[in-house]
Amino acid sequence: MRGYVDENLCVACGLCAQACPEGFRMGEQGVAEGYRELPDYAIDDALQAAEDCPVGAIRIGK
Ligand code: SF4
């Protein structure tokens, strides 16, 4: 499982990188990116980040 960010929707609020740094970081383009496979312990945080993203830009999947 990993997080995917729709870079066309992301408004760079930083919430996901804060809530789940194991799965998200702010990329060089200034928007968030899901940068690696989620460790099991971080999946709940990633799902929460997806739910809390103000623009619905995050999808969690394979
Ligand atoms: S929470 Fe959503 S809008 Fe905010 S940085 Fe992450 S992907 Fe972008």
Average pLDDT over residues 13-40: 97
Mutation choice for ligand 1 from 55, 59, 60, CB with most ligand atoms inside 8 A: 55
Cβ burial of 7 (10 Å; 0-12, 13-18, 19+) is middle
Q: Could you give the domains of the chain? A: 2-61 (3.30.70.20)
- To the question of pTM greater than 0.85 for the whole model, the response is yes
Q: Which pLDDT belongs to residue 24?
A: 98
Mutation choice for ligand 1 from 7, 9, 15, CB with most ligand atoms inside 8 A: 15
User: Of all residues in the chain, what percent carry a pLDDT higher than 90?
Assistant: 98
Q: Which pLDDT belongs to residue 22?
A: 98
> What pLDDT, in 10s, does the model give residues 41-59?
999 999 999 999 999 999 9
